[in-house]
Amino acid sequence: CTQNSDDNGGLDAEGRYDAADDLLPVHRILARMAELHIMGGHGLVQDAMKAGYLFNDAGDAATKIREGQLAMRYYELAEEAWALLPEEE
């Protein structure tokens, strides 16, 4: 029995990632990739810079399908990701 990915972080009943709900639209895939780069783990190094770019790309993809509010949220998440980077001196 597969649960909704919104309730369980994308995991199925056995605790494995269930991508069935996240295949389309593209902006969801990009946003999920960004989330994974923010969290890191399982061999994936945390990378706030890459996460920011992925969220920005998700915003662009959402804009193309006229999802303006969602696009704005992705752009905000990109800014939040980049804010995690150490400041240059």
Per-residue confidence of the chain (89 residues) as pLDDT tens digits?
A: 333 434 555 666 776 765 555 557 899 999 999 999 999 988 999 999 999 999 999 999 999 999 999 999 999 999 999 999 988 76
- Give CA 22 to chain center in angstroms: 11
pLDDT at residue 1, as a whole number: 36
Residue 5 lies in a domain: no
pLDDT at residue 14, as a whole number: 72
Residue 50 lies in a domain: yes
State the sign of the Cα–Cα–Cα–Cα dihedral 21, 23, 27, 30: positive
d(CA 37, CA 53): 11
Residue 6 lies in a domain: no
d(CA 33, CA 44): 11
Which residue range is the domain that position 32 belongs to? 22-83
CB 17 within 8 A of CB 10: yes
Q: How many domains does the chain have?
A: 1
DSSP label at 21?
G
Residue 9 lies in a domain: no
Q: Which uninterrupted H or E stretch holds 1?
A: none
pLDDT at residue 2, as a whole number: 37
Residue 31 lies in a domain: yes
Residue 40 lies in a domain: yes
pLDDT at residue 87, as a whole number: 85
30, two tokens? 């990009």
What does residue 78 show for φ and ψ, rounded to 5 degrees?
A: -60, -45
Residue 1 lies in a domain: no
Q: What is the pTM of this model?
A: 0.72
